[in-house]
Amino acid sequence: MTYLRLSITDRCNFRCTYCSPASWGGKKDLLSPAEFARIVSVFASMGIQRVRLTGGEPLIRPDILEIAQRISTTPGVQRVAITTNASHLERLAAPLREAGVSQLNMSLDTLSEETFRRISKQGDFAATLRGIDAAARAGYDSLKLNVVVMRGVNDSEAPALVRYAHERGITPRFIELMPFGQGTPVPSAELVEQIQAAGVPLATEPEDTLSAAASITSGPARYWRSPTGRVGFISPLTQNFCGGCNRVRVASNGDLRSCLGGRAQAPLHQLIRGGASDAELALAVRRALGEKPDGHRFTEAGSASTLLPMMGIGG
């Protein structure tokens, strides 16, 4: 494990249908900046090199800059990234960069305000677009645009979103919908054909490029090349990526989860607040990771009933 996904809140100012069901009440007693920093320090001593701050929407925390700064200065941490809906980036893109964040993954599922409202009744479409533009000006090492594709909702927009992202120096990534909420997924192969049919030529990256990209992104996306930039596809249903998983997740209340597709957890927050040493925390982490399954169960019948909502896991 070299990659920690750290949820710092499971609340969000959006309510996207595939992520945050109306029934989700959220966790209580979230960790403090100092507690997050201690967890990251323990993980870094065990080999974690990259940390991604997730949510919910991480930028709604008023102490987000303190959290980012503490984690980015932790010995052993080489890269800090944030996944965000971009609605607060008009104000925070530059300060986050100064706090040590080097990568942003921004969510934008559509270029249509009407479709945006179908997906997220509470979201702010204009603020999201302004935030993405602010991020493009802020000098980040890496910017990605995450697009969750849903049949009959936004599945015709892939070519337009590729052009939109590349015009701003951003890498678009199309994600097969996972069974955490509403909607029907669209296979990545279908989107590749759609983008090519719209006049955007795509070529798979050669193996040596793929290896270099994997070391940088440290994630499950498979990338194609177009004349204007890279295009990524994350295909948990049609191209299971579990065999190369290098990540571990900690929820906003300190629960460690070894797998996105399960409920098994280890309560690190109880250990911290109970006076556990760093060695005891590390032992609890190793025990939990020893229970990591060989793969998710998304495609099995009834799997959705055993999963937490996406915003309760941190993605």
pLDDT of 305: 46
CB 122 within 8 A of CB 84: no
- Domain residues for the domain of 128 are 3-312
**Span of 82-96, 156-170, 177-191 with lowest mean pLDDT:** 177-191
Task: Give pLDDT tens digits for 25-35.
Answer: 566 688 999 99
d(CA 46, CA 283): 10
* Cis bond before residue 56 (omega within 30° of 0): yes
Radius of gyration of the chain (CA): 19
Listing DSSP states for 272-304 in one string gives HHTT--HHHHHHHHHHHHTT--SS--TTSTTGG
d(CA 126, CA 48): 36
Total structural domains in the chain? 1
pLDDT surpasses 90 at 236: no
CB 245 within 8 A of CB 257: no
Apex 187 CA angle, 166 and 141, nearest 5:
30
pLDDT (mean) for 295-313:
52
Number of alpha carbons in the 13 Å side-chain half-sphere of residue 46: 23
pLDDT of 37: 97
CATH number for the domain including 7?
3.20.20.70
pLDDT of 17: 87
The residues, any chain, with a CB within 8 Å of residue 128's CB and separated by 6 or more, are 85, 86, 87, 106, 108, 116
pLDDT surpasses 90 at 301: no
pLDDT band at 247; cut points 50, 70, 90: confident
pLDDT surpasses 80 at 147: yes
Task: Give pLDDT tens digits for 126-144.
Answer: 999 999 999 999 999 999 9
Task: Say how far residue 275 (Cα) sits from the centre of its chain.
Answer: 31
The residues, any chain, with a CB within 8 Å of residue 154's CB and separated by 6 or more, are 109, 110, 112, 115, 119, 147
Q: Considering only residues 288 and 102, tell me which one the structure prediction assigns the higher pLDDT.
A: 102
pLDDT of 220: 81
CB 93 within 8 A of CB 113: no
pLDDT (mean) for 247-259:
87
- For residue 52, give the 3-state DSSP assignment: strand
Between the alpha carbon of residue 301 and those of residues 21, 45, 81, 179, the distances in Å are 21, 39, 34, 11
pLDDT (mean) for 47-67:
96
pLDDT of 289: 85
pLDDT (mean) for 98-109:
98
Task: Give pLDDT tens digits for 177-232.
Answer: 977 667 889 999 999 999 999 999 999 987 555 444 444 445 688 999 999 999 99
Average pLDDT of the chain to the nearest whole number: 87
d(CA 45, CA 76): 7
Q: What is the pTM of this model?
A: 0.87
**Span of 102-111, 194-203, 236-245 with lowest mean pLDDT:** 236-245
pLDDT surpasses 70 at 112: yes
pLDDT band at 246; cut points 50, 70, 90: confident
